[in-house]
Amino acid sequence: GTRDIRHRWILEQLAACGAPESILTDAKPHVGTDMLHLTLVNLRRQLLDLGAQVRFGHRVTGLRVRDGALEGLEVSSPEGSYVLPARQAVLALGHSARDTFEMLHAAGVRMEQKPFAVGVRIEHLQREISARQYGPAWKQLPPSDYKLACHLPTGRSAFTFCVCPGGEVVAASSAQGQVVTNGMSFRARDGKNINGGFLVGVGPEDFPAGAGPLAGVRFQEEWERAAFQAGGGGFLAPAQRVEDFLKKRPSQGPGAIRPTYRPGVTWTELDRCLPGAVADTLRGALPLMDRKLRGFAAPDGVL
């Protein structure tokens, strides 16, 4: 969905590395999880041909700094530790490299808190969403997606993100004893369910006081641990039917919509593992979004 001027160039590189050429003409390009890993192997080969190095299993554990200037990176590897000389380092850490965040903070790298979003994945039957979006012709059209947002009188907002038509909810934990979910779609998008991130913005005012620039990380860890406990261990994900979530009662099992998450779910009450303001905002947003997309607050929807 980005309007970045590099968007087209990126799609062309992916297609050249084996992604479906339809991504160059589709209004909403979709590679598919089952195609993307093949594409990335070819992309890595291109980088190697251009002189890049890829060091699997090597981890940056510290910085070597002299007189305020970077001299190298301390690295651990299966063969032992070493120093990689470097005058500049670009750290593309993503979301969950928390050990590296800690190392950089201890090394005196300037950091500041930033807002982000937390919430749940919500699953519906794909045929129901497609029928609502397309009408009687839905069977002749590709699986539909959606994009919803609303603002509540409390000042909080909720929105959907990373919607996966015909997709699955997947495990995305990055630490022991913590549960995180994400979503994906195969190229064919032919699964029974559609899922999307259903999120609420949070900021420094929500984070634990006195935790410094990594307060947002402490906030994440607290609720990911709560999700693990609510799931009962084994990386089972806590789950609740939409109707039960709205009525603040634990779910006893699924209705017409069966969750796709593996290794499985534990039916429970999500207020046990969501910040109060986030849970209340999601509850307030469900009926508002249902006015925009009938069926979004369907009783058997799975959170």
pLDDT at 150: 98
- pLDDT the model gives residue 95: 80
C-alpha–C-alpha distance, residues 72 and 92, integer Å: 17
pLDDT for the residue numbered 54: 96
222-228 LR contacts (CB < 8 Å, sep 24+): 223/118, 223/273, 223/274, 223/275, 224/173, 224/175, 224/178, 224/179, 224/180, 225/177, 225/178, 226/272, 226/273, 227/178, 227/179, 227/180, 227/273, 228/173, 228/177, 228/178, 228/179
Burial class (CB in 10 A: 0-12, 13-18, 19+), 278: buried
Contacts with 239 (C-beta within 8 Å, 6 or more apart), sequence order: 251, 259, 261, 265, 266, 267, 268, 270, 302, 303
CB atoms closer than 10 angstroms to residue 176: 7
In this prediction, residue 1 carries a pLDDT of 59
| SS3 state of residue 67 | coil
Beta-bridged to residue 117, according to DSSP, are 201
pLDDT for position 28: 87
Q: What is the pTM of this model?
A: 0.93
* Residue 184 dihedral angles phi and psi, to the nearest 5°: -155, 160
Burial class (CB in 10 A: 0-12, 13-18, 19+), 98: middle
| Axis-axis angle for helices 7-16, 33-49 (nearest 10) | 90
User: What is the reported pLDDT for 226?
Assistant: 98
Task: In whole angstroms, give the CA distance from residue 270 to residue 248.
Answer: 9
How many Å apart are CA 66 and CA 261, to the nearest integer? 49
Instruction: Quote the CA–CA distance of 251 and 228 in Å, as a whole number.
Output: 17
Outline where DSSP puts E strands in 67-180: 69-77, 80-85, 116-125, 149-151, 157-164, 168-171
pLDDT of residue 27: 86
Phi/psi for 39 (5° steps) reads -60, -40
Instruction: Round to whole Å and give the CA distance between 116 and 204.
Output: 9
CB-CB neighbours of 263 under 10 Å = 10
The tokens of 198 are what?
């259903």
Query: Which residues of the chain fall below pLDDT 70?
Result: 1
